[in-house]
Structure 1
Amino acid sequence: MITLSIILTFIGFWCFYQNSNRAELSKPNGFEKWLRGHKEQSYISGLFALVLGFVFCLFSFGVTSGIFTYILTLTVIASLSIILGPLGYVNRWTISIFLVTALIFETAF
């Protein structure tokens, strides 16, 4: 549930980041092209993903700890996306590797 919250928070932030006018955006792939071409739908889906990630954090950690964890998660995701996004390090393979590793650690420990 924690991994799902982190991934949903990342997807939500990435939807908003791809529609930023001031961001240094790298060459888009298929999903990023869709996000940049359909701004209203990407805002709605990004907001939905952020809210859903917040709800999963609340269910996983409780109210106060969930809010704190979500704010911390969103801060880390935003910082890493802004730093690593223009360099091209954020792609589907790195996200997939992170997702599989996080799921292994979440279920094994």
Structure 2
Amino acid sequence: MLKKDLLELCLLQLLDGGDKYGYEVLTPLRAAFPDTQESAIYALLRGLGKSGLTSWYMAPGGGGPDRKYYRITSAGQARLEEMRDQWRNMRDAIASFGVE
């Protein structure tokens, strides 16, 4: 898996835990991948939406302006399961070489 795939896996995993607005996914992804630009994460979110893996809606934002919330779709959940399997296979393959 390349970095983009890892970001996608992590992003879908975050959304699998419930709907989140942009900053709620941005913060943990930037912590895990500090060299990733904010714009790249938002571009990935847009791409996932265009692919039908996520959707979004606007909702009140705690006293401020409305926020855009993202949610995983059923197609996104299927993709997440596929990616989890790929991750496990890659992790096991790498571990077989003694890399941990």
Structure (1 or 2) with the larger CA radius of gyration: 2
- The structure in which a higher percent of residues are helix is 1
With the length of structure 2 as denominator, give the TM-score of the two structures.
0.43
- The structure in which a higher percent of residues are strand is 2
The one of the two structures with greater contact order (alpha-carbon pairs below 8 A, sep at least 6) is 1
With the length of structure 1 as denominator, give the TM-score of the two structures.
0.40
